[in-house]
Amino acid sequence: MSIESEIQSSLTESDVPEVISKRPIRVGIVAGEVSGDILGAGLIQSIRKLYPNAQFEGIGGPLMIEQGFKSHVPMERLSVMGLVEVLGRIFELVGIRRRIKHYFLKNRPDVFIGIDAPDFNLGLELSLRKQGVKTGHYVSPSVWAWRQRRVFKIARAVDLMLTLFPFEAKFYKAHQIAVRFVGHPLADLIPVAPDKQIARSDLGVQTNAQVVALLPGSRSGEISYIGESFIQTARWLYERNANIQFLLPYVNEQRRDQIKEIISEVGGDLPIKLINGQSRQVMAASDVVVLASGTATLEAMLLKRPMVVAYRVSGFTHYIMKRLLKVPFISLPNLLAGKELVPELIQDQAQPELIGQKVFDRLNTSEGDKTKASFTDLHKQLKLNASEQAADAISKLLEQPDHNLKGKG
């Protein structure tokens, strides 16, 4: 089935009644980080339109709690990133999962939904499903890209996978796992035709300026590997066009200090304006974005901004990942399109002159205009009202006859 027909199918399925049942269903949810809290809040709101008397509990953040969610554990206890950090708190995390599992087995929900956090949630979903609890997982792990054998555990753990991207749904269908492509919440949030001039006005940037946004990442490790290349790229561009202005957002004071140190070492007096947060506004105000891979590439695409992706990791990590990756691209625009819309300069290719030339190509030719048209098409494919799509899919799971998988898997 083509992406277009899959999208049409999802659009048809979204036409659901306002209320399905007034019975007081119980929904268990575990979200492990800020992005999951955002998804969870939208999901709760949409499920409540279908089940006005629904009750929600588990682990969630402030946005979910605002929607009436009862969190048994502070969500920040699950928000751990990095192998060393996880190992340092492994006993606490195992203990939290054991307690929440026992709670839900004693107080059985009508459905359990794990939002992202696959290392925590898939094991929990597997345990609950074995005891006959219906389970869903919202946001696919990148199983389609690497560690593909995880799909067998997913098949045992979930009754329904909810994906943000169509290529993920194709992967699960190929493995005969029930799946629904619901679209991406960012595509619902960001206008199809964003206004560059409003973003420039908000940031105090001149209307006719040539602006390059630099986004070397939000974590210390990312910046330590690629930050210097980004600043050297800015110098390479500035030496050839002194009218270019540079905007660089940072997420906190520690990252600002780290970036300022790199600028002082290799940037000198470059006109780089550091901006506290507002990365989306920075991208919206720019003519071209230079960024590391990740969700930021999706945001730049939805903002219709030409971009150059440059990424670097440790030599050992690169060696391992080259052998594990099963996809030809790392940036979401290219993965969505199935072809190279966005240049990707990885590892040894992430050199200032190579990045800089790609930026010039997009500043001074029609290259940027061509990619904007493709980005608009992709945006429309993802703009499906994700929260309502997900709630509709979960309602269909809820209305199915009860199953009992005890002892299986």
Give first-to-last CA distance, the chain, whole Å. Answer: 30
Domain coverage including residue 225: 196-382
> Could you tell me where the beta strands, DSSP code E, fall in 257-313?
272-276, 288-291, 307-311
Amino acid making up residue 73:
V
Are residues 173 and 203 located together in one domain of the fold?
no
pLDDT digits 0-9 by tens, 92-129: 888 899 999 999 999 999 999 999 889 899 999 999 99
At residue 115, the pLDDT reads 96
pTM of this prediction?
Answer: 0.81
Are residues 244 and 171 located together in one domain of the fold?
no
Q: What letter does residue 328 receive in the DSSP assignment? A: S
Are residues 175 and 255 located together in one domain of the fold?
no
CATH number at residue 359: 3.40.50.2000
Are residues 148 and 204 located together in one domain of the fold?
no
Q: What is the C-alpha to C-alpha distance for residues 315 and 268, in angstroms, rounded to an integer?
A: 28
Are residues 28 and 121 located together in one domain of the fold?
yes
pLDDT digits 0-9 by tens, 250-297: 988 999 999 999 999 998 789 999 999 899 999 999 999 999 878 899
For the record, the structure tokens of 45 come out as 């709101």
Query: DSSP labels for 331-375?
Result: SHHHHHHTS-SS-EEEGGG--HHHHHHHHHHHHHSTHHHHHHHHH
Are residues 241 and 373 located together in one domain of the fold?
yes
Look at the chain and report how many structural domains it folds into: 2
Are residues 125 and 173 located together in one domain of the fold?
yes
Residue 105 lies in a domain: yes
Q: Among 49-53, 363-367, 380-384, where is mean pLDDT lowest?
A: 363-367
Are residues 160 and 250 located together in one domain of the fold?
no
pLDDT higher than 60, residue 356: yes
Most confident segment among 37-51, 75-89, 147-161: 37-51
Are residues 356 and 391 located together in one domain of the fold?
no
The DSSP bridge partners found for residue 31 are 115
Are residues 287 and 304 located together in one domain of the fold?
yes
Residue 406 lies in a domain: no
Residue 200 lies in a domain: yes
pLDDT higher than 70, residue 19: yes
Average pLDDT of the segment spanning 204-223:
90
Average pLDDT of the segment spanning 23-49:
93
- Token pair 């990365």 is at which residue? 279
Residue 134 lies in a domain: yes
Most confident segment among 264-268, 311-315, 357-361: 357-361
Higher pLDDT, 224 or 263: 263
Higher pLDDT, 21 or 158: 158
pLDDT higher than 80, residue 17: no
| Own/partner long-range contacts of 396-402 (Cβ < 8 Å, ≥24 apart) | 397/111, 397/134, 397/136, 397/159, 397/160, 398/25, 398/51, 398/110, 398/111, 398/134, 399/20, 400/134, 402/132, 402/134
Are residues 95 and 173 located together in one domain of the fold?
yes
Residue 409 lies in a domain: no
Q: What is the C-alpha to C-alpha distance for residues 8 and 405, in angstroms, rounded to an integer?
A: 33
Residue 6: band (very low, low, confident or very high) from pLDDT cuts 50, 70, 90: very low
Closest CA to 284 of 269, 297, 303: 303
Q: What is the C-alpha to C-alpha distance for residues 37 and 52, in angstroms, rounded to an integer?
A: 20
Residue 93 lies in a domain: yes
Residue 33: band (very low, low, confident or very high) from pLDDT cuts 50, 70, 90: confident
Which value, to the nearest 10 degrees, does the dihedral of the CA atoms of residues 14, 16, 18, 22 take?
A: -120
Residue 408 lies in a domain: no
Q: Is the dihedral of CA 381, 385, 386, 391 positive or negative?
A: negative
SS3 250: strand
Are residues 374 and 392 located together in one domain of the fold?
no
Residue pair 37/65 in contact by the 8 Å Cβ criterion: no
- Of all residues in the chain, what percent carry a pLDDT higher than 90? 66
Residue 191 lies in a domain: no
